[in-house]
Amino acid sequence: TTWAVFMFGGGHFAGAVFKGAEVLVHKTFHCYTVRAKQGGSQGAADNRAGSTHKSAGASLRRYNEMSLIQHVQDITKLWCDRLQACSLIFYRAASGNRSVLFGGKSP
């Protein structure tokens, strides 16, 4: 049985595809996207404020959010054949991050 696991949130991503107990492919990475001691992503803070913050840290977090989304979509596209062969796909993603895995230009 082939199956996959994806975990995505707080700037962290982990994904793997297994055949039984054997790992076929796996990938993890982290980007600085969460506001220190404030919680939540930079995008969420921008939405709350009604405008974008202009600090260097805010710009970096905003850029890293977009980069993280692109990396996740690139990985799912690269693993497309393996994912189609999966009988089970487990995922953990906050509601805002589900659209990255299941929506957008290339779900």
Q: Considering 42, 70, 73, 84, which one is annotated as catalytic? A: 42
Cβ-based burial of 68 (10 A; exposed 0-12, middle 13-18, buried ≥19): buried
70 is catalytic: no
30 and 12 Cβ atoms separated by less than 8 Å? yes
29 and 13 Cβ atoms separated by less than 8 Å? yes
Whole-angstrom distance, CA of residue 17 vs CA of residue 49? 39
List, by residue number, the catalytic residues: 42
